[in-house]
Amino acid sequence: MSNVPTITLNDQVAIPQLGFGVWQVGNDEVVSAVGKALEVGYRHIDTAAAYQNESGVGRAIKESGIARDELFITTKLWNSDHAAADARRAIEQSLENLGLDHLDLYLIHWPAVQKYGNLYIEAWDALQGFKEEGLTRSIGVSNFSAEHLEAINGAVPSVDQIEMHPTFSQAAFRATLAERGIVPEAWSPLGQAKDLNSPVIGQIAQDLGKSNAQVIIRWHLQIGNIVIPKSVTPERIAQNFDVFDFELSDEQLNLINSLDSGNRIGADPATATF
Ligand code: A2P
């Protein structure tokens, strides 16, 4: 049995707090990566239509033989599909690619305001319908700022998946999400490997006899983030899951909190033009 804690979302759906991310993993390579992740015990997989690897993820799920109700599968609606009819076609395509009859979590990938204006509000209405129909158990958003959360109507998103890692830890926005009952989910949780080079992380890892990646993943878990580290390297996939036999002290958490530079690595939702 998995020892991964779950977080109960605002719609009572339970999500495993540690999952496996597959951004920038090709559709062939993703089969072995997800296969390895499922073998070592991950049950939560995070993909997106835009990653173009949903069918590989689906193949790995099928080949694993793991029961559907033991898995937690997230995918995301791409920016060009925010209009209601496009959103429906998109979720149906994602389900077909994944070989599933329902998702566990469906996210609006970006608000994409620069390119598509306020169409993300129509997308949010569509997602609420998909949840009512049972096409997905839970619905949320990604890369939404406070203004985008303000603009959407009706049910509150269960999660907001945003860039978060020690050098961009978003403490103030995490507090905003907490006030709204939205759970923060971290993309690029290792800072796309860049934050692994921090001497502060290195010292804590040395003190604990853990790897730098394990320390960062543990920090995410202890500050309440859902975390989905990506790796295509079997040993790292296993190592990143082996984070439940130690704890960071408050002092160690604060040292990592102090690494925040306010600088993103990825795109800024306020200026992204895709
Ligand atoms: P790789 O996939 O080649 O194993 P993020 O999740 O923040 O986007 O970070 C992903 C990056 O971090 C990838 O380059 C991945 O490399 C690397 N990575 C993932 N886990 C580890 C680890 N345990 N040790 C070192 N690098 C890692």
Point out the residues of the chain with pLDDT beneath 70: 1-2
**pLDDT on residue 204:** 98
- The response to whether residue 233 sits with its C-beta less than 6 Å from ligand 1 reads yes
**pLDDT on residue 3:** 83
Atom 15 of ligand 1, nearest CA residue: 231
Q: How open is the CA angle 165-168-169, to the nearest 5 degrees?
A: 70
- For 154-204, the DSSP string reads SSPPSEEEEE-BTTB--HHHHHHHHHHT-EEEEESTTTTTGGGG-HHHHHH
Atom 1 of ligand 1, nearest CA residue: 231
Shortest-distance atom of ligand 1 to CA 193: 12
**pLDDT on residue 153:** 81
* Catalytic residue annotation: 51
80 C-alpha vs ligand 1 centroid, how far in Å? 29
**pLDDT on residue 154:** 86
- The response to whether residue 188 sits with its C-beta less than 6 Å from ligand 1 reads yes
pTM over 0.95: yes
Give Cβ neighbours of residue 76 (< 8 Å, ≥ 6 apart).
Answer: 47, 48, 49, 50, 106, 107, 108, 109, 142
- The response to whether residue 214 sits with its C-beta less than 6 Å from ligand 1 reads no
**pLDDT on residue 1:** 45
Q: What is the DSSP letter of 230?
A: B
Domains identified in the chain and CATH numbers: 6-257 (3.20.20.100)
**Polymer length of the chain:** 274
